[in-house]
Amino acid sequence: MKRQRGFLATFLLAAFTVLSGALAHASPSRAPPDRPFKLVALGDSLSAGYGLPDSAAFPNVLQRALRAKGYKVEIANAGLSGDTASGGLDRLDWSVPEGTDGVILELGANDMLRGLDPAVTRRALETIVQRLRARGVPVLLAGMRASRNMGPEYGERFEGIFRDLAQSYDLVLYPFFLDGVAGERGLNLPDGIHPTAQGVERIVERMLPTVERFLGRLGVRS
């Protein structure tokens, strides 16, 4: 009888160990309580803060806004001016290092401005999402709209990328990164494309509830 109880205890301990390891592998990454939750903003010039001081770049402004609300977060700026979705994929491993707890994915604007085939953009963004998911790194997807001069067919194919990926992979989606800023002369630099510091503040203000929902899904509380 004692031998049977000993065998049962050993079996249950082994099963629990295997199950715990499987759950840990399947669960998204979580920051331990003694360090900040680490996000990476993987994007192009809109994340990098083209024409602005570092303090006015999107990741830094968002980090300040979240900390003001009590979130213990750090946001690394992995924005690269001129980058396409394929470029982001090429540099994914070193742009999103080990220890990253979540990614804000903001890519695609340069693909659209260059008139690249939306199928190419879709494949690159989807591969980024898949590779991050395999690493247990959750993604908040920031969408982009096509310029009207690209035509309605191109616009629908391009904008559909973000809706489809969010649905297919159950991603938190912010539909249009430049919402409230695009086309507003006073909120953009003279090139009419990149936001001013005030424009970035508006982006963060409008995007903040979505970012909070993303953090809440991951169990991060203020």
What DSSP element (H or E) covers 75? strand 73-79
pTM metric for this prediction: 0.85
CA 82 to chain centre: 18
In the set 44, 45, 47, 83, the catalytic residue is: 45
Is 16 or 171 the better-scoring residue by pLDDT? 171
Predicted pLDDT at 41: 98
112-130 average pLDDT score = 98
Q: Which CATH class is domain 37-217?
A: alpha beta
Q: Which of 93, 78, 89 is nearest to 46 (CA)?
A: 78
Active site residue 25: no
pLDDT band of residue 31 (cuts 50, 70, 90) is: low
Instruction: Identify the residue with better confidence: 175 or 35.
Output: 175
Answer for the pair 199, 123: CB distance below 8 angstroms, yes or no.
no
Q: Could you state, in order of their start, the residue ranges of all structural domains in the chain?
A: 37-217
In this predicted structure, the answer to whether residue 170 has a pLDDT above a threshold of 80 is yes
From CA 59, how far away is CA 70, in angstroms rounded? 17
Tell me the CA end-to-end span of the chain in Å, nearest whole number. 52
- C-beta separation of 111 from 85 below 8 A: yes
* Confidence bin at 61 (pLDDT 50/70/90): very high
Residue 25 pLDDT exceeds 50: no
Q: Which of 25, 34, 170, 191 is catalytic?
A: 191
**Of residues 74, 128, 127, 117, the one with CA closest to residue 99:** 74
Token pair belonging to 122:
């879709």
When pLDDT is cut at 50, 70 and 90, the band that residue 18 belongs to is very low
What residues have CB less than 8 Å from 214, skipping those under 6 apart? 102, 138, 140, 172
Whole-number Å distance between alpha carbons of 138 and 29: 8
Catalytic member of 86, 95, 111, 194? 194
pLDDT-based confidence at 211, cuts 50/70/90?
Answer: very high
- Position 34 scores a pLDDT of 72
